[in-house]
Amino acid sequence: MSALLQVESLDVRHGLLQAVRQVSFEVAEGETLALVGANGAGKSTLLRALAGAHRPAGGRVVFEGRDITAMPAHRRVKAGIALVPEGRRLFPDLTVEENLRVAGAAHRDGRWTVDEVLEAFPLLQPLRRKRAASLSGGEQQATAIGRALMTNPRLLLLDEVSLGLAPIVVEGVYHSLRGLIEGGTTIVLVEQDLARAMGVADRVACMLEGRIVLEGARGELTREQVTDAYFGLRRAEASA
Amino acid sequence: MTWVADLVHGIFLGGFYALLAAGLALMFGVMRIINLAHGSLALIGAYMAFLLTEHLHISTYLALAPVLPGALVVGYVLQRTMLERSLRAGQLVPLLTTFGLLIVIANLLQQFFSPDVHSLDAGRIGPASWHVSSELSIPWFDVLTLGIAFSVLGGLHLVLRVTQLGRELRATAADADTAELVGVNARAVYARATAIAVAIAALAGVFYGMRSAFDPNAGANELLYAFEAVVIGGIGSLWGTLVGGIVLGISQEIGAHINQEYFALAGHVVFLAVLVARSASSAPRIRYTLRRFA
């Protein structure tokens, strides 16, 4: 398998705070990678840097063999990277359908159209003309994922899709994610819920204080290992 | 009956103010830029139309054909070269930039066209009017102006509602970062918004030149009325701008009815009253209307 995404010694800062330190990893085509770690470990910042919302201070991001480190966010979307941001960030005064259609700006060919998205998320079907601000959390999350899919991404970045949602709604969201994963979409997701992350991902990378301290295939890692890395109990186990 | 005449004239005058204010409202709604040079850009439109009519001997309406596309280009370039940089430096900087632009434009116009007043020929429709009664006659030119204002606002409304550019404009206005993340080139969208705003300003400027004489410093005055229309109308909402323009127009006509000298004053008083009432009663609502642009 060739690497779809290569990240090489990436540094990202928020002013003086260095949120991501020397992070390197690869994601192969069709693979699902889960980034886990405590609050403030740098997961969201890393995802935003991959999507182009945050300029890295150092290092390289290579997508499909092309260096995209300096590429602005909207061009990365055209190249095939889409982010579902933390907190969903829908356009509140646009309807569900308009939120989806805005993302058609990228003009990428692929299977995802408004009708396809509504078919994949049937709960949105009756809501297509409703303002996004009037939706429930789960409906908003479905719209946000649908909006990202509308760009027909090769790489989908998901930031905390279960945050603030009722368990039954999270179940629904992950059910649709499984459909995407089986369809061959490459996914990097940030998830607080370890069990869920390990349930859906091929590989898990654990971040601590801006670094990846543990990384491995789902079968290779035990829950204990990940929990230890999560809280920084055994740094000796850190791997590249 | 004369009060009815004031009311009617106020409505038509308001249509002109709305036309003048539409571009201002658009730029503020999308980018939070208060374009102090808006009136001056309108004036450039009037002077360009003047040049064309003088040298090519064409009608003022025909002069719009090259002036409006030219204004689109000017707006696009203005955004890309000046306003974009200013925006990156914070909210206050575009205010300073456009204030500087206002002064530069006034001086350049004075340099090239002298401080004398100029005017544009409104054609056969100019002096004609419809005599409703002995007290009330409505100039056809005012009807045309109001019609154009309606069409411009309606057209903008349609563009914002049903086109991809409109969706991108509204998405970018709500959250430019996220718009970028779904593939919208926010800077290009901003440039297109400014292009449209400057073209509407130029259109308003040409109509201004046909309704009254203008000199190089008229921009600031016209800006003030446009600004008042925007604020009275609820800041950043398109149809609100039409309502604001009409309220301003009616106040001025009624003020002038009481005493000729109260024309401008009455408008300013209503503007201040609306501003005070709004900031006293519902400050959060103003912020809400900002987000709910169009």
Identify the pLDDT of residue B145.
93
Q: Please tell me which residue of chain A has the smallest CA distance to B167.
A: A102
Identify the pLDDT of residue B198.
97
Q: What is the pLDDT of residues A146-176, one digit of tens each?
A: 999 999 999 999 998 888 788 888 888 888 8
Q: Is the pLDDT of residue B139 over 80?
A: yes
Average pLDDT over residues B38-66: 93
Asked if the Cβ–Cβ distance from B164 to A150 is below 8 Å, we say no
Band (B45; pLDDT cuts 50, 70, 90): very high
- A104 contacts in B (CB within 8 Å)? 164
A-B contacts (CB, under 8 Å): 77
Average pLDDT over residues B116-131: 84
Is some CB atom of chain B closer than 8 A to the CB atom of A98?
yes
Using alpha carbons, select from A165, A156, A13 the residue that is nearest to residue A77. Answer: A156
- B164 contacts in A (CB within 8 Å)? 101-102, 104-105
Asked if the Cβ–Cβ distance from A101 to B181 is below 8 Å, we say no
Q: What is the pLDDT of residues A49-81, one digit of tens each?
A: 999 999 999 999 999 999 999 999 999 999 999
With residue A8 as reference, give the H or E element that holds it. Answer: strand A3-14
Handedness of CA B187, B189, B192, B193 (dihedral sign): negative
- B167 contacts in A (CB within 8 Å)? 94, 98, 101-102
Identify the pLDDT of residue A28.
93
Q: What is the pLDDT of residues A12-27, one digit of tens each?
A: 998 888 899 999 999 9
Identify the pLDDT of residue A238.
46
Q: CB burial class (10 A; 0-12, 13-18, 19+) of residue A220?
A: exposed
Q: Is the pLDDT of residue B80 over 80?
A: yes
Using alpha carbons, select from A240, A230, A203 the residue that is nearest to residue A7. Answer: A240
Identify the pLDDT of residue B290.
42
Among A42-46, A187-191, A221-225, B22-26, which stretch is predicted with the lowest mean pLDDT?
A221-225
Asked if the Cβ–Cβ distance from A82 to B181 is below 8 Å, we say yes
Write the CA distances from A169 to A65, A121, A157, A173, B230, integer angstroms.
37, 12, 20, 6, 44
Q: Is the pLDDT of residue A240 over 80?
A: no
Angle A36-A39-A45 from CA coordinates, rounded to 5°? 75
CA atoms of B203 and B87, how far apart (whole Å):
26
Average pLDDT over residues A107-124: 86
Calculate how close chain B gets to A83, using CA atoms only, in Å.
7
Average pLDDT over residues A191-211: 88
Q: Is the pLDDT of residue A1 over 60?
A: no
Band (B294; pLDDT cuts 50, 70, 90): very low
Which of the pair, B22 or A106, is modelled with greater confidence? B22
Q: What is the pLDDT of residues B258-292, one digit of tens each?
A: 888 888 899 899 999 988 888 776 554 444 444 44
Average pLDDT over residues A229-233: 78
Q: Please tell me which residue of chain B has the smallest CA distance to A149.
A: B182
Q: Token pair 């009060």 is at which residue?
A: B3
ipTM, interface predicted TM-score of the complex: 0.88
Asked if the Cβ–Cβ distance from A77 to B182 is below 8 Å, we say yes
Q: What is the pLDDT of residues B245-259, one digit of tens each?
A: 999 999 999 999 888
Token digits for B191? 């440039």
Q: Is the pLDDT of residue A236 over 70?
A: no
Using alpha carbons, select from B48, B102, B82 the residue that is nearest to residue B226. Answer: B102
CA atoms of A94 and A74, how far apart (whole Å):
19
CA atoms of B1 and B280, how far apart (whole Å):
36
User: Residue B51: CB partners within 8 Å, gap ≥ 6?
Assistant: none
Instruction: Please tell me which of the candidates B164, B179, B180 has its beta carbon nearest to residue A104.
Output: B164
Residue type, B217: N
Identify the pLDDT of residue A178.
85
The 8-class DSSP code of residue A179 comes to H
Using alpha carbons, select from A97, A28, A95, A38 the residue that is nearest to residue A63. Answer: A28
Q: Is the pLDDT of residue B24 over 50?
A: yes
- A93 contacts in B (CB within 8 Å)? 170, 174, 291-293
